[in-house]
């Protein structure tokens, strides 16, 4: 079931209960054709090796080694990609409004974070293993319970430019530890998970999901995928758990483009204060000497 983006209370209710929600209408129609064109262009760049920040088939988490077949393009707002439509969409009203509602903060308090594109591989099908983004599969039930209590201060989404059946999750698993059956399935690559459901998106639909929901990605080389994938943060500024969650894709030190004048001036006005919050987080973490400790093996 999907909801219109004006149904904010219902969207939040479903998101909290199920750990995900599907929302219609978050792509302003005037941005659509340029988004489609730019998504194809940057995908080509990644596939030809002209863009090095890519997710490489065969590897689930960063750092990604060089490789030819890819399942994602990182850093869509990087000025060198010369694709301003991605920042226009990341800073557009509907996605910001729904995200602010789910974050429980004002739009002015949101933090700029990650923005990537997920694409189909070309040479072979590829599947991730079942995971929660910020809790390792090997942890004990006690540790899992503790980690699941941590506030996210962030919201993650997939917005499909083409129909997308790649994301599969266990509804409501974001708020409880795994059952013995789920643990057993988690240990077997490619296993079916009891209660799994495809988060099926039609072109133009967006799913917001708690990235600690038990989930997996399955990628079919024959089905074109161009799905916008990213997140925003919310107060308190400089939250360490938030930093840990996003730094798995922002290996420290932050990529230098983030603090470059070219990046700042390329952004729509609404995103500049949001960028300032990300930079303040980086500064605070450095001051505390904490950045160095982030592990990249999540």
Q: How far apart are the C-alpha atoms of 226 and 122, rounded to whole Å?
A: 13
DSSP string, 120-139: --SSS-EE--SBBTTB-TTS
3-state secondary structure of 46: helix
> What is the DSSP code (8-state) at residue 65?
P
Work out the widest C-alpha separation in the chain, in whole angstroms. Answer: 51
* Member of 53, 113, 133, 282 binding ligand AKG (CB under 6 A): 133
Q: Does residue 95 interact with ligand AKG by CB under 6 A?
A: no
Site for ligand AKG in 3-42 (CB under 6 A): none
Residue 128 CB, nearest approach to ligand AKG (Å): 6
Residue 49 CB, nearest approach to ligand AKG (Å): 21
Residue 215 CB, nearest approach to Fe ion (Å): 6
Q: Does residue 53 interact with ligand AKG by CB under 6 A?
A: no
Q: Does residue 239 interact with Fe ion by CB under 5 A?
A: no
What's the burial of 52, exposed, middle or buried (CB within 10 Å: 0-12/13-18/19+)? exposed
Site string for ligand AKG, 161-200 (x = CB under 6 A): -----xx---------------------------------
Residue 170 to residues 118, 130, 131, 294, Cα–Cα distance (Å): 21, 10, 11, 28
Question: How many positions of this chain bind ligand AKG (CB under 6 A)?
Answer: 8
Q: Which does 166 bind (CB under 5 to 8 A by kind): ligand AKG, Fe ion, none?
A: ligand AKG
Residue 230 CB, nearest approach to Fe ion (Å): 13
Q: In terms of CB distance, is 199 or 267 closer to ligand AKG?
A: 199
Site for Fe ion in 120-179 (CB under 5 A): 133
The beta-strand segments (E) located in 210-286 are 215-219, 226-233
Q: Does residue 118 interact with ligand AKG by CB under 6 A?
A: yes
Q: Which does 167 bind (CB under 5 to 8 A by kind): ligand AKG, Fe ion, none?
A: ligand AKG
Neighbouring CB atoms inside 10 A of 80's CB total 12
Q: How far apart are the C-alpha atoms of 227 and 32, rounded to whole Å?
A: 13
Residue 181 CB, nearest approach to Fe ion (Å): 21
Contacts of residue 57, Cβ cutoff 8 Å, sequence gap at least 6: 67, 69, 70, 71, 121, 123, 124, 126, 219
Binding site for Fe ion (CB under 5 A): 133
């Amino acid at each position: 079931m999907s909801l219109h983006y004006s149904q904010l209370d219902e969207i939040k209710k479903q998101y909290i209960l199920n750990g995900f929600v599907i929302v219609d209408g978050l792509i302003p129609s005037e941005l659509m054709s340029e988004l489609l064109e730019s998504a194809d262009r940057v995908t080509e760049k990644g596939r030809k090796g002209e863009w090095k920040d890519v997710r490489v088939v065969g590897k689930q988490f960063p750092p990604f080694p060089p490789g030819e077949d890819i399942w994602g393009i990182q850093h869509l707002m990087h000025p060198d990609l010369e694709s301003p439509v991605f920042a226009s969409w990341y800073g557009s009203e509907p996605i910001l409004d729904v995200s602010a509602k789910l974050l429980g903060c004002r739009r002015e308090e949101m933090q700029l974070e990650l923005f990537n594109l997920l694409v189909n591989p070309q040479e072979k099908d590829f599947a991730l293993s079942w995971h929660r983004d910020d809790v390792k599969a090997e942890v004990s039930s006690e540790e899992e319970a503790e980690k699941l209590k941590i506030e996210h201060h962030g919201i993650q989404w997939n917005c499909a430019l083409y129909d997308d059946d790649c994301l599969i999750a266990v509804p409501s698993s974001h708020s409880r530890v795994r059952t013995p059956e789920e643990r057993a399935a988690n240990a077997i690559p490619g296993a079916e998970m009891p209660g799994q459901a495809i988060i099926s998106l039609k072109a133009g639909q967006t799913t917001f999901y708690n990235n600690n929901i038990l989930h997996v990605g399955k990628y079919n080389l024959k089905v074109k995928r161009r799905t916008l994938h990213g997140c925003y943060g919310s107060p308190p500024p400089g939250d360490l758990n938030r930093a840990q969650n996003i730094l798995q894709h922002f290996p420290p030190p932050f990529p230098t483009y983030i603090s470059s004048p070219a990046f700042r001036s390329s952004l729509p006005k609404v995103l500049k204060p949001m960028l300032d919050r990300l930079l303040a987080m980086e500064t605070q973490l450095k001051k505390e000497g904490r950045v160095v400790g982030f592990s990249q093996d999540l």
